[in-house]
A and B are shown apart, each in its own frame.
Chain A
Amino acid sequence: MCGIVGLLVKNPKMRANIGELMLPMLIGMTERGPDSAGLAVFGAAVGADERKFSLYTGELDFNWQKLSHDFLTHLGSKVINFAQKANHAVLTTHLEPETVKIWLKEHYPQVHLLAIGQLMDIYKDVGTPAEVAARYDFSQLSGSHLVGHTRMATESAITPAHAHPFTAGQDWCLVHNGSLSNAPSLRRKLQHEGICFETDNDTEAACRFLEWRMREGDDLKTALEHGFEELDGFYTLLMGTKDQLALVRDPFACKPAVVAVHDDYVAIASEFRSLAHLPDIKNAKVFEPSPKEMYVWKV
């Protein structure tokens, strides 16, 4: 099972510290999710014709410099920015996403593309939340909003790829607490529709389902309404997009969620424990979201 956290910082002065604010939230969810952790942070936007690529490798002593160098040599395009920490890097470039994807697959199959976005970076790996946070320096992150997750694997393996967040398209991600009971059938149906899967994780099935609906023209709300009909099982879903956080609970609402709305921020977590240390939490409006309703908070 799992723990989820979400944070949207309304107060621009606090955005530089989003990582610091979030860290105790994530660590607070360690018991719910000791196997792996991840988060998606929405920070400063790169130029309209630029994109950020979050990259991950299982090789701990990977030669990132070589990758950066090869990028220039093979593709003839300079890397605009390259931020690397441990086995993770964020690469910014003008190049078309498809071009980058193909190049990575061909030349660096050991590097996984976690996300593409103008604002969004994704980090995820196996280890306790504290280990993952230290590995990638989560406390130093800045941005307007983020979505985080701690994982206790139920039926699929513990690998970095199986960790959340999952992403569908650019600047869009999802985390999940619960267990879908019809994930394999959903996967088969979506594969038939041409959607590709990376893992057998039931959360990915939910993510790709929404990806499919949005591809078919649904807005997020309509996509989720379809979800109520087709997704079976228990789920609290938290999604992050360019400018908003969205939260929804299934009709049975067995998996928990708590929200704190404050003038400076909106915070979401599986348990109140993770919100208890936020600044001035005493004056936040704390409530539980109702089942089957979509809650949206905009930056």
Chain B
Amino acid sequence: MSDTPNKIPQTEPHQSATFDKLTNSQIRRAAATGIYDIRGGGAKRKLPHFDDLLFLGASMSRYPLEGYREKCGTDVVLGTRFAKKPIHLKTPVTIAGMSFGALSAPAKEALGRGASAVGTSTTTGDGGMTPEERGQSKTLVYQYLPSRYGMNPDDLRKADAIELVVGQGAKPGGGGMLLGQKISARVAKMRCLPEGIDQRSACRHPDWTGPDDLEIKIAEIREITDWEKPIYVKIGATRPYFDVALAVKAGADVIVLDGMQGGTAATQEVFIEHVGIPILAAIRPAVQSLQDLGMHRKVQLIVSGGIRNGADVAKALALGADAVAIGTAALIALGDNDPELEAEYNKLGTTAGAYDDWHEGRDPAGITTQDPELMKRLDPVKAGHRLANYLTVMTMEAQVIARACGKSHLHNLEPEDLVALTIEASAMAKVPLAGTNWIPGESKF
């Protein structure tokens, strides 16, 4: 007996993987507005990352260290190459550059409090140094960017280190961006802009282009600060092998390498998702470059872009980094995208965890906003505690892993402690596929 005409089986509704819901909504938005989509944060799509690597803990051939009694050192010194006053940190987890303007004053204060409590540094961003941050942060790195917003020699001298920004992972080749909603009176004054306008930004430094001229610029900054402070050079991950070599030749003390997962306050969505490479793909070439120049450990390497826990820290160090920086993770620790505020996120047309329209300045958590009422919601002391807790956990997690690998210091972690779960991760990190001796491109299967 055949089926009656009303009950013909339908196929399952099938969404396209290419024209998925997100893509279709992006097309509709573009058609409605005629302008590119701007958002904050880093690359959101799934990328080869540290999760694709695993540590080989101790067994018969390697012996672990006891927790607590058998020490696992976590300290790091940055800026040993030329600076009279290198920076000594108690943990290799530092706070990445985020601007006052992108973040509220209480948020910057909280970052300073949390970082100082555990003996690490914070970094100013594309807007200059605030007294709150300098006051709260025991060790403060001062960014020197293409825009030079708020840049002045007094703050240069107040800084503990100076970070010359060539680019960042979210938008290598792009400049800063802050929309009118966040150009409050205070921000406008610091950046010397009219209040409430949309800030356009330069992508290149105004007075130098190329590593040959960078060398002279670095020398200028050293002269102005009497050679006291370490000079960092920050690059977005694109051609890390060449960029690191050139930064070394130009005279950097420390190199900061930011992968595409690294966040930004605001830039075009396409820039974030399609320009720059994942940090996993960038670390080994950067370390190789240092090694080829005989500068590994002499010019320190800080990596950032999607660092979330002590495992990520340990893996970054094992691959050859000296330290890491966190941005997005620090904000989440402060309270960004907290599900407790779900009702507010819904009102903004989003949901906790997905909120990224920070440029609109309406952050219910009071972190990525300049709105005085919203800012009040963030208690800098409490938030500072939260950050300190998180940093402590990250450090301890890294120690647990290092001890399990028999290391008495995080810096003794090495690539040979790692294996990969996927072919991509194996090729990028240059560690063997788990259970094999194979590194694609390096050894025969």
Contact = CB atoms under 8 A, between A and B. Distances in A.
Q: Is A in direct contact with B (CB under 8 Å) within the complex? A: yes
A34 B209 contact: no
B209 A154 contact: no
Interface residues of A, number: 19
Interface in A131-168: 152-155
Contacts of B246: 1, 152, 154
Interface string A38-55: 000000000000000000
A34 B210 contact: no
A126 to B, nearest CB: 14
Given A154-B242, A155-B239, A155-B242, A255 B209 contact: yes
Contacts of A179: 210
A36 interface: no
Contacts of B209: 234, 254-255
B212 A3 contact: yes
Given A34-B249, A152-B249, A1 B212 contact: yes
B212 A152 contact: yes
Contacts of B213: 1, 256
Contact of B210 (A31, A153, A254): A254
A93 interface: no
Interface in A1-58: 1-3, 31-34
A32 B242 contact: no
Interface residues on B, range: 10 to 19
A1 B242 contact: no
B211 A154 contact: yes
A256 B204 CA distance: 16
Interface in B193-246: 204, 209-213, 215-216, 239, 242, 245-246
Interface string B229-269: 00000000001001001100100000000000000000000
Given A152-B246, A155-B242, A234 B212 contact: no
Main secondary structure of the interface of A (DSSP, over half): loop
A270 to B, nearest CB: 8
A118 interface: no
Interface string B30-73: 00000000000000000000000000000000000000000000
A33 B212 contact: yes
Given A152-B249, A154-B246, A1 B211 contact: yes
A32 B215 contact: yes
Interface in B76-103: none
Nearest to B208: A254
A153 to B, nearest CB: 8
Best-buried of A3, A33, A154 by chain B (most CB within 10 Å): A154
Given A152-B246, A152-B249, A154-B246, A32 B212 contact: yes
A187 B245 CA distance: 25
A274 to B, nearest CB: 13
Contacts of B242: 154-155
A1 B210 contact: yes
Interface of B: 204, 209-213, 215-216, 239, 242, 245-246, 249
Interface of A: 1-3, 31-34, 152-155, 177-179, 234, 254-256, 270
